[in-house]
Amino acid sequence: MWYPTSRFVLLLSLLGITRTMAHPSPDRGRSPRMGTTLSPFLLPSLQGTLRPQTTMLRVNLNPVLTPRRTRIFLHRRLAPQRLQRFRTRIRRNRMYYLLTAYSLVFADCGARSPFILCHCADAEMSPETAIDRLARVPVGLRRFLGTLFVMPLQAEDTGISARGYTQLGSGDVHLFGDCSMDLWVHEAAHAMDYADDDNALSSSSGWLDALATDTCTTDDYALTNEIEAFAQLSTTFLYILLHSNTPPPGLEIPCMQNQINYLRGLAQLDPLTLFGNRCDIDDGVVGVRHNAAPRVLDPTRTFATVPLETMQTAAPPSRGRGRNGASPRSSVRRLWSTWGLTFWALYISNSFVE
């Protein structure tokens, strides 16, 4: 049976719970390359070579990325094997978590290639929220993801609401806190970048030349190194594609045009397949982790641009929202209308009395 992720309700039972020890990496929001000889932290910073256009990039992708239909199962067999790698790294930590493993089959990817999501009982993101956001990641990016771990923020995570990192060799993603869609897409971009571990996109001559030629990048975090610059701009690029080449507010394209051109030339980011209805994309890309054809293609899943007005879904914080979604301003209008009718009625009645 197909369950829309927006209405997903799941009853957990003791038989469906996988117990394992787990703890997050001490890294904060970066993307450590596990199991390889080169760490991204050894890469040179881009500070001083490029100008950041903003302090912290915030791209609101949630309104324009709709979720795929999802079949959800409690995973009792394969997940413990995948969790074993995570288990071996945490023996020195005193924190123990209860993880529930879910096997997810999306409408755009076949059942022979399910996604595994491991959810900690103490995580800020509920299973429903995590599954819904994973279902919103475009299939052209989602197909590169490994196992996903949804964990709670730690005591040392002061002053932040969310962070994440990706194991660049395996595509496994670890998310902490209430991660918004731009963070999900950012980590998926890391998985795509290192899908072919020996030929990472962010270390290619084309990308490095683009960084050397341009004068700016998205934000301060993109200056960490070429890997983070790639993931940050990939997130921005999705917004640009969906809004007819219009960048997010506060960003300009000309000063980072060469970086944009590099992304536009990637087969992985062809909008027709990136936002398509199948993960068995015949583009010759190496390192795809989910490529089973869906049983039935959804003809409504096609690439289409979105009006900019779609992004203006939340009222400014100073105004808030009224009951049942009504704005306070409309409530004030109704109040004045009510008082106006009352005074008019009193005036009429007094006129008749006199």
Chunked mean pLDDT (size 10), the chain, 354 residues? 36 28 34 37 85 90 84 64 48 56 92 92 95 96 96 87 92 96 97 95 98 97 96 97 93 97 98 95 94 88 74 33 32 39 42 37
Structure-token match 């003809």, residue found: 299
What separation in angstroms does the CA of 28 have from each of 25, 39, 47, 166?
Answer: 8, 14, 19, 11
Model pLDDT, residue 57: 85
For residue 64, give the amino acid letter: V
Backbone dihedral region of 68: left (phi > 0), alpha (psi from -120 to 50 degrees) or beta? Answer: beta
Model pLDDT, residue 196: 94
Q: What are phi and psi of 219, to 5 degrees?
A: -155, -175
Structural contact between residues 295 and 277, judged by C-beta atoms closer than 8 angstroms: no
Annotate 140-209 with DSSP letters as a single string.
HHHTT---EEEEPPPTT-TT-SEEEEE-TTT--EEEEES--HHHHHHHHHHHHHTSSTTS-GGGSHHHHH
Model pLDDT, residue 168: 86
The three-point CA angle 115-116-122 to 5° equals 135
Structural contact between residues 27 and 156, judged by C-beta atoms closer than 8 angstroms: no
| Residue 84 CB contacts under 8 Å (≥ 6 apart), including other chains | none
Model pLDDT, residue 311: 45
Task: Let me know how long the chain is.
Answer: 354
- DSSP run (H or E) holding 232: helix 226-242
Model pLDDT, residue 41: 54
Model pLDDT, residue 83: 53
Q: Which two tokens stand for residue 64?
A: 């324009």
What separation in angstroms does the CA of 139 have from each of 34, 185, 274?
Answer: 25, 11, 6
Instruction: Say how far apart CA 109 and CA 315 lie, in whole Å.
Output: 36
Residue 233: closest CA among 54, 73, 104? 54
Model pLDDT, residue 97: 58
Model pLDDT, residue 251: 95
